């Protein structure tokens, strides 16, 4: 049987998806072509509003699979509004390739919603998104949202959920269980787990440069310094510890100046700027435990948890982090605290530091062992399984 031809529609090259695409293309069962709809990203760098700067990843994102950029003619190109992706030739380019199925990532742009509507009934339409029901909404907003989403997902044959909260969202939006598949939100666990000694050495060097004693415990935050991530809550909770531990923030963002001003009262709080992907495995090894204190809205997963776990570190996450439900096994590989509650976070930080480095290292080994279930290869396997399970339709 020849490989099943799968067209993937997504916005631009992303460090989390490229390894999945490579794994799918290398499976031998899927003939893959990715259609990127934000053609302005073809040069390799994009403006990231969270970091407040142009970001160009230093790992290959376009190797190992077939792709093409579809011209985006939007007057104001971007991902922050519905009209930011306008690709009049998208359908024509996909049909010229002749796929057996189409997998569309996200619907909240003109280009992607048009593709959903066009291909429904012509070839199997699969959908990938990571929305959840975690964020509270007024009842009338929730009702209107549900009515609209039921219409959107009526154009989808199979929704591929990234985890439990996302699966619940698809069910709430009207999709029956038999039309929801599961393929985990993933990272390149091989890259984060490889060359551990080299990454540990770089992390140790950074500790020395920051003035952190080798025996001191380090609590780490790495990501965008923005309201959604709520790094200020972590600083507030840490400020009450007084146990010789250190707190390191890695990243930039809108809250950077405010956090640094608040942190002047503490000699054991440190800041490092944004670090690119090639050294992120060392960044996570800089800490003994990783914290993601997000308050949302729209913290639909929190892939930093995956990265920290694959780097052999236990994690602490708030209840507003969508992936915590699946990833964190309390007391085994990390902890979960009530979002927005500094006392609850303080208690867990004390518990983590109190476990000592041997205790946290044991939890980190458990985290790394469990991360294989959230690998790019596993995600690709299950996406491929969903595609191969779709009936082949003859386009008329």
Q: How far apart are CA 379 and CA 359, in angstroms?
A: 30
Does 393 map to a domain?
Answer: no
Please state the pTM of the whole predicted model: 0.94
pLDDT at 391: 82
How many C-beta atoms surround the C-beta of residue 122 within 10 A?
15
Q: DSSP letters along 97-121, please?
A: H--SEEEEE---SHHHHHHHHHHTT
Helices (H), 175-316: 189-193, 196-210, 231-238, 256-263, 280-285, 303-310
Rg value, the chain, Cα: 22
Does one domain contain both 169 and 284? no
Measured CA to CA, the distance from residue 157 to residue 219 in angstroms comes to 44
Quick check: 50 pLDDT over 60?
no
Residues 141 and 225 in one domain: no
In 3D space, the residue among 292, 371, 360 whose CA is nearest the CA of residue 331 turns out to be: 360
Cα first-last separation, the chain: 22
Task: Determine the Cα–Cα distance for residues 380 and 388; give it in Å rounded to an integer.
Answer: 12
DSSP 378: H
Q: Identify the CA nearest to 316 among candidates 289, 287, 340, 341.
A: 289
Q: Do 209 and 335 have their domain in common?
A: yes
- Examine the domain organization and report whether 366 and 381 are in the same domain: no
Percent of the chain clearing pLDDT 90 (strictly above): 93
Number of domains in the chain: 2
User: Helix count (H) and strand count (E) of the chain?
Assistant: 15, 15
Q: Which of 374, 362, 226, 230 lies closest to 307 in space, CA to CA?
A: 374
Q: Kindly state whether residues 31 and 66 are assigned to the same domain.
A: yes
Asked whether residue 242 falls in the same domain as residue 359, the answer is: yes
Q: Which two tokens stand for residue 33?
A: 């072509």
Residue 29 maps to a domain: yes
Residues 56 and 66 in one domain: yes
- The most distant pair of C-alpha atoms in the chain lies apart, rounded to whole Å, by 70
Alpha carbon 99 to its chain's center: 27
Residue 241 lies in a domain: yes
Residue 395 has pLDDT above 60, yes or no: no
Length of the chain: 396
Indicate whether 53 pLDDT > 70: no
To the nearest whole number, what is the mean pLDDT of the chain? 95
CA angle 171, 177, 180 (to 5 degrees): 80
Q: Give ∠ CA 63-79-22 in degrees, rounded to 5.
A: 20
pLDDT tens-digit map of 154-199 = 999 999 999 999 999 999 999 999 999 999 999 999 999 999 999 9
230-277 residue pLDDT tens: 999 999 999 999 889 999 999 999 999 999 999 999 999 999 999 999
Would you state the pLDDT for residue 251?
97
Do 174 and 319 belong to one domain? no
| 74 lies in the same domain as 176 | yes
- Owner of token pair 């939890």: 363
The DSSP bridge partners found for residue 250 are 222, 272
Residues 153 and 228 in one domain: no
Within a domain: 102: yes
User: Which of 283, 326, 335 minimizes the C-alpha distance to 307?
Assistant: 283
Structure confidence by residue, pLDDT tens digits, 85-135:
999 999 999 999 999 999 999 999 999 999 999 999 999 999 999 999 999
User: Cβ distance 321 to 306 under 8 Å?
Assistant: no
**For residues 270 and 238, is the Cβ–Cβ distance under 8 A?**
no
> How far is CA 323 from each of CA 31, 247, 320, rounded to the nearest angstrom?
30, 23, 9
> DSSP letter string over 48-69?
ETTTTEEE--SS-SSSSSEEEE
The domain of 103 spans: 4-186+375-388
Mean pLDDT value across residues 128-146: 95
394 within domain boundaries: no
Please give the Cα distance from 189 to 194 (Å, whole number). Answer: 8
In this structure, the dihedral spanned by the alpha carbons of residues 160, 163, 164 and 166, taken in order and rounded to 10 degrees, is -60
Residue 395 belongs to some domain of the structure: no
Pair 315, 305: CB distance under 8 Å? yes
**Domain CATH for 335:** 3.40.50.2000
Residues 194 and 230 in one domain: yes
Q: How far apart are CA 232 and CA 291, in angstroms?
A: 12
Is 83 among the domain residues?
Answer: yes
* 10 and 134, same domain (yes or no): yes
Please, are residues 187 and 16 in contact by the beta-carbon 8 Å criterion?
yes
Residue 41 lies in a domain: yes
pLDDT at position 396, please?
46
């Amino acid at each position: 049987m020849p490989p099943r031809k799968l067209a993937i529609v997504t916005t631009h090259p992303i460090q989390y998806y490229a390894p999945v695409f490579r794994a799918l293309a290398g499976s031998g069962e899927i003939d893959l072509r990715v259609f990127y709809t934000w053609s302005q990203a073809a040069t390799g760098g994009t403006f990231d509003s969270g970091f407040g700067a142009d970001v160009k990843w230093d790992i290959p994102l376009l190797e190992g699979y077939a792709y093409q950029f579809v011209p985006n003619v939007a007057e104001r190109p971007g991902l922050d509004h519905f009209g930011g992706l306008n690709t009049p030739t998208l359908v024509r380019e996909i049909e010229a390739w002749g796929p057996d199925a189409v997998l569309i990532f996200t619907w909240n742009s003109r280009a992607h919603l048009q593709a959903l509507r066009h291909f429904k009934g012509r070839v199997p339409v699969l959908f990938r998104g990571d929305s959840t029901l975690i964020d509270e909404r007024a009842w009338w907003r929730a009702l209107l949202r549900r009515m609209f989403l039921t219409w959107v997902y009526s154009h989808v044959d199979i929704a591929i959920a990234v985890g439990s909260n996302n699966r619940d969202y698809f069910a709430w939006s009207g999709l029956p269980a038999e039309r929801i598949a599961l393929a985990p939100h993933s990272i390149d666990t091989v890259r984060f787990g490889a060359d551990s000694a080299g990454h540990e050495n770089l992390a140790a060097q950074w500790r020395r440069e920051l003035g952190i004693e080798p025996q001191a415990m380090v609590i780490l935050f790495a990501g965008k310094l923005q309201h959604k991530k709520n790094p200020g809550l972590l600083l507030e909770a840490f400020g009450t510890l007084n146990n010789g531990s250190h707190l390191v923030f890695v990243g930039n963002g809108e809250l950077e100046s405010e956090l640094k001003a608040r942190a002047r009262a503490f000699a054991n709080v440190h800041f490092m700027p944004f670090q690119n992907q090639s050294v992120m495995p060392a960044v996570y090894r800089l800490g003994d435990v990783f914290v993601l204190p997000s308050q949302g809205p729209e913290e639909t997963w929190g892939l930093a948890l995956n990265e920290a776990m694959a780097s052999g570190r236990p994690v602490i996450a708030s209840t507003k982090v969508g992936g915590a439900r699946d990833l964190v096994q309390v007391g085994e590989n990390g902890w979960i605290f009530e979002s927005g509650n500094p006392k609850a976070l303080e208690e867990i930080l004390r518990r983590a530091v109190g476990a000592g480095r041997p205790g946290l290292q044991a939890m980190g080994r458990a985290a790394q062992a469990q991360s294989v279930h959230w690998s790019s290869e596993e995600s690709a396997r299950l996406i491929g399984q969903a595609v191969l399970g779709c009936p082949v339709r003859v386009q008329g």
